[in-house]
Amino acid sequence: MGEREKRMRTGSRVYTVPAMSLEVRPFEAADLAACGVLLAGRHRRHRVAQPLLSPRFEDVDAAVAELTAAYGTENASGAVAFRAGVPVGFLLGAPKTSPLWGPNIWVEAAGQAVTDAEVMRDLYGVAATRWVDEGRTAHFVIVPSHDEELVGAWFRLGFGQQHAHAIRPAEKVAAPSASGVSARRAVRADIPELARLDLELPLHQGLAPTFSAGRVGTVEESLADWEDDIDNPEYATFVVERDGKVVGSAIGCALEKSSSHLSLALPDNAGFLAYAAVYAHARGAGAGRALGEAVIDWSVDSGFDSVVTDWRVTNLLSSRTWPRLGFTETFLRLHRTIGY
């Protein structure tokens, strides 16, 4: 095998790299405590770059608890790496049941840590063998955005960036939106426009250069949902008007309502810019920015310490608008499809 020796055993795989004395084997329950130490250290370094992330996970016990929960997810599996018997990295993933993601495996925010970024390539080599053997060929990985070496290691494994998670302090926007558009809280009379606007984001995401495969619902479905949800106090819905007509909408809520900002990617006491859409004919005039400002201001008034959002990096609108409002990346979602 040249510079790398590979040993295979029934039920396990052990890869040895003689020059580095690196041993990689499947992740086991007995690895949780030691790998939790690695995860706490990773989060400690991450918070130097992004101090708005929760300090809770710098504590080893809290990190171990998150890792244990990830390991307990149905069909979770991964790999752990050692040098001279000391753990130097781990990788842990599990599938999601939603058909939206295909035959998938997800490495969530608590699912990886290494002392040397290059070790991640060896870890993936072991873990992904099982994943692909199980038919899971769509791989998604949540990576701390500040760690350029780790992101680079994933890129050298054939991954590319699909999504960005981002955060900003819960502070009023210094420069308000341009004149000609204005945002306000939605009322029941806005339901027909809110239902139509529900279709705008998935329709836009299905176009170039994003080409998302997300389902586009119907106006009738959205009308029924809004009739039930418009008065829900856990969500703040806004519309933006231009020339007296509603041209966009946005929703704010507590970040805990999100299903994609989990574990170490869940800051304490954070508001969430959960949704925003503007009709195609009204884009480029500041409507999206006005909606973002409205949710940020609501988050401040609601007592949140920070505001979080996320976007597809191929969405040319959101990937430009939200950073201009002060959002900076915390995690990157990377993606690879096997077999093409």
Please write the tens of the pLDDT for every residue from 45-80.
999 999 999 999 999 999 999 999 999 999 999 999
Mean pLDDT over 300-304 rounds to: 98
Classify burial at 340, counting beta carbons within 10 Å of its beta carbon; exposed 0-12, middle 13-18, buried 19 or more: exposed
pLDDT, residue 196, reads 97
Q: Are residues 203 and 282 in the same domain?
A: yes
Q: Are residues 28 and 110 in the same domain?
A: yes
Q: Are residues 146 and 23 in the same domain?
A: yes
Q: Are residues 12 and 102 in the same domain?
A: yes
pLDDT, residue 176, reads 65
Report d(CA 160, CA 151) in Å as an integer.
9
Q: Are residues 194 and 265 in the same domain?
A: yes
**Least-confidence region, from 50-64, 90-104, 173-187:** 173-187
pLDDT, residue 3, reads 37
Backbone angles phi, psi at 34, to 5 degrees: -65, -40
Q: Are residues 102 and 15 in the same domain?
A: yes
> In the structure, what pLDDT confidence band is assigned to residue 18 with cuts at 50, 70 and 90?
very low
H helix or E strand, kind and range, residue 206: none
pLDDT, residue 178, reads 62
Q: Provide the token pair at 87.
A: 């753990």
In a domain, 337, yes or no: no
Residue with tokens 């770059």: 49
Q: Are residues 153 and 179 in the same domain?
A: no
User: Does the pLDDT at position 122 exceed 90?
Assistant: yes
Please write the tens of the pLDDT for every residue from 214-233.
788 899 999 999 999 999 99
Domain extent for 135 = 5-158
Residues contacting residue 51 through CB under 8 Å, at least 6 positions apart:
none
User: Does the pLDDT at position 17 exceed 50?
Assistant: no
Tell me which amino acid residue 261 is.
Answer: H
Q: How far apart, in Å, are the Cα atoms of 103 and each of 56, 81, 139, 271, 329?
A: 33, 26, 9, 32, 27
Q: Are residues 173 and 320 in the same domain?
A: yes
Report d(CA 206, CA 215) in Å as an integer.
9
> In the structure, what pLDDT confidence band is assigned to residue 15 with cuts at 50, 70 and 90?
very low
> In the structure, what pLDDT confidence band is assigned to residue 100 with cuts at 50, 70 and 90?
confident
Report d(CA 139, CA 94) in Å as an integer.
10
Cβ contact 43:53 at 8 Å: yes
User: What's the CATH number where 66 sits?
Assistant: 3.40.630.30
pLDDT, residue 340, reads 78
pLDDT, residue 174, reads 79
Q: How far apart, in Å, are the Cα atoms of 145 and each of 38, 45, 49, 333?
A: 17, 12, 9, 9
Half-sphere exposure of 162 (CA within 13 A, CB side): 19
pLDDT, residue 11, reads 39
Q: Provide the token pair at 173.
A: 């926007």
User: Does the pLDDT at position 19 exceed 50?
Assistant: no
3-state class of 93 per DSSP?
strand
H helix or E strand, kind and range, residue 209: none
pLDDT, residue 216, reads 87
Report d(CA 315, CA 202) in Å as an integer.
11
Number of folded domains that form the chain = 2
Q: How far apart, in Å, are the Cα atoms of 169 and each of 55, 163, 294?
A: 15, 21, 14
Q: Are residues 220 and 278 in the same domain?
A: yes
Q: Are residues 118 and 264 in the same domain?
A: no
Residue with tokens 């007296």: 244
H helix or E strand, kind and range, residue 13: strand 12-17
> In the structure, what pLDDT confidence band is assigned to residue 20 with cuts at 50, 70 and 90?
low
Residues contacting residue 94 through CB under 8 Å, at least 6 positions apart:
70, 73, 74, 75, 76, 77, 105, 106, 108
